[in-house]
Each structure stands twice: as C-alpha cells, then as structure tokens.
Amino acid sequence: MGDVTRKPIIAGNWKMNLNHYEANLLIQKLAASLTGEQLEAVETVVLPPFTDLRTVQTAIEGDKLAIAYGAQDISKHASGAYTGEIAGSMLAKLGCTYVAIGHSERREYHDETDELVNAKIKAAFTAGLTPIFCVGEGLSIREASGHVAHCTAQVDAGLDGLKEDQIKQIVIAYEPVWAIGTGKTATPEDAQEVCGAIRARLAEKYGSDVAEAVRIQYGGSVKAANIASIMAKPDVDGALVGGAALDAEEFASIVRFKEHVAR
C-alpha cells in the first residue's frame, strides 16, 4: 500500500427524477444541511438529469457551495447530427466536473456495450470531464460466483487505451445490479471483495501508484444507516447513491458518514 490519501467521494445519482424547480430546492436544502467543514471533508457530488444542470450550476455557483456536479451520460461523439445526444463539451461549458458512464441501467435498457462505455470515457476526458465509470454484476453472475471476474473484465474493457494519468483521475463505481433500488445492500465484505479486486487489477496492469490513486465507490441501496460500515472498508472510497440522494436530509447524513458509528 502506498501513502496516497484518497478523499472520500459521495455522489448522488438522481436518475430520471426531479425537474429543475425541484432540483433547485434540493440543492438549497443540501446547502442548509451541510457545513462548509463537512463539505470540505468529503467530496460531494450531484448528478441531476441534463435539464436540471443549468439550474444546479446557478444554485451552486451563486452560493459558492463546495458541491460538484455532473451528468448521468455523455455522447461518444464530439458534435454533429446525433439527435437527442449531449456532447461532453456542452457539459463542460455548464461547469460539470463529472459524468457517470456505463451505469447498469444504461447498459441494460440502452444496450450499452463495454466498447461504447470505453468510447464515452475517452469522450469525457477529451472534454475535460472526470468519468464515474460504473461496473457491476447481475444476480445470476453473483450466484455463479463470477462477480469478481465479471467486474474486473468490465474495468479492463472500459479503460482500454487510456493513459495512466487519465486512469489515476477516474472514479470507478462498483454497483452490483441486484443491490440497485432493491433495498438489498451488499454487505461491507461483499463491497470490499470487489473494490479490492478492482484495485488489485489496476495495480497489476498499471502499477501500484495508479491503483492507489483511483477512487472506488460502492453503489446499491446505500443509506445513512449503512454508509459508515461500507466506508470503513479499506478499498471503498465513496458511494454512488440513488434513491437516498433524492432526500436532502438523508443524503446530507450519508455525506456526514464520519460522524456515524459503523455497525
């Protein structure tokens, strides 16, 4: 293990929830629930729908809040005749720092392949955005004990052709599909097993310097009640939160995980 300290990163993936009025309200409530010190200790990120981004930018910049934001998807293309798509340069212009790529809901409902995910990660870097690169296994793979191999293969494919300094910046989110929106959280040991295996794979391929710099999140039914024990694991550097990120109090409490007792 190196001596790199990885700043915890808690990101709220709002999915297809909240219009721009509701987005503004949620940002205001978050700002009221978290102190500057708490936001300093943990990188706090929101990933609203595209249509909310301008409003979220205005709210965050207006009050100089230490909250980062980003999008839930990106086009692999830079610009052009791609109806309905959003380019990385457009997201960068709105002040986005992050973009989620390869979320299981996009892989499943929009047939996103590892190859497309890899192209989107490259598009994000070209636009100066940091990918939150999602991987995770479905229930049948987990039941057949194929989860580690599945996730490390997704990591290999997603990072193909990237430079080491890009890989160092990336955030990887391990989200077991069977734990998303189901209330079935993976145990902290389950989360550590895969997050640790991902880091070991990164070390094998790119060296321990790179592996120790990458932040790895766990996602899947994260709540204020279970965050502390998940964050206590050595290779878990943060969380990607879905449903619980729509409630300001709950999300703020997740961000304050250092004040909770791990159970």
Q: Could you list the residues known to form a binding site for substrate, using ranges.
A: 13-15, 181, 221, 242-243
Asked whether position 253 contacts ligand 13P by CB under 6 A, the answer is: no
Question: Is the Cβ–Cβ distance between 250 and 218 less than 8 Å?
Answer: no
Asked whether position 55 contacts ligand 13P by CB under 6 A, the answer is: no
As measured in angstroms, the least distance from the Cβ of 165 to ligand 13P is: 26
150 catalytic residue (yes or no): no
Stretch that binds ligand 13P, among 2-10, 111-119, 200-208, 219-227 (CB under 6 A): 219-227
Give the separation between CA 216 and CA 134, rounded to whole angstroms.
10
As measured in angstroms, the least distance from the Cβ of 177 to ligand 13P is: 9
Asked whether position 216 contacts ligand 13P by CB under 6 A, the answer is: no
175 catalytic residue (yes or no): yes
Q: Which residues fall within 8 angstroms of residue 33, CB to CB, at 6 or more apart?
A: 248, 249, 252
Asked whether position 180 contacts ligand 13P by CB under 6 A, the answer is: yes
Asked whether position 195 contacts ligand 13P by CB under 6 A, the answer is: no
Tokens in use for 216? Answer: 């790895």
As measured in angstroms, the least distance from the Cβ of 28 to ligand 13P is: 22
Asked whether position 30 contacts ligand 13P by CB under 6 A, the answer is: no
Asked whether position 241 contacts ligand 13P by CB under 6 A, the answer is: yes
Q: Among 75, 221, 226, 253, which residue interacts with ligand 13P (rule: CB under 6 A)? A: 221
Choose, from 112, 137, 175, 250, the residue flagged as catalytic: 175
Give the three-state DSSP class for 4: coil
Give the separation between CA 81 and CA 61, rounded to whole angstroms.
32
Question: Is the Cβ–Cβ distance between 77 and 87 less than 8 Å?
Answer: yes
Query: Which residue's CB is nearer to ligand 13P, number 103 or number 120?
Result: 103
Question: Is the Cβ–Cβ distance between 128 and 158 less than 8 Å?
Answer: no
Give the separation between CA 246 and CA 242, rounded to whole angstroms.
7
Asked whether position 13 contacts ligand 13P by CB under 6 A, the answer is: yes
Q: Among 181, 209, 249, 262, which residue interacts with ligand 13P (rule: CB under 6 A)? A: 181
Choose, from 103, 105, 147, 250, the residue flagged as catalytic: 103
Question: Is the Cβ–Cβ distance between 254 and 10 less than 8 Å?
Answer: yes
Strand ranges for the chain from DSSP E: 9-13, 43-47, 67-71, 98-101, 130-135, 171-174, 215-219, 238-241
Residues in contact with ligand 13P by CB under 6 A are 13, 103, 175, 180-181, 219-222, 240-244
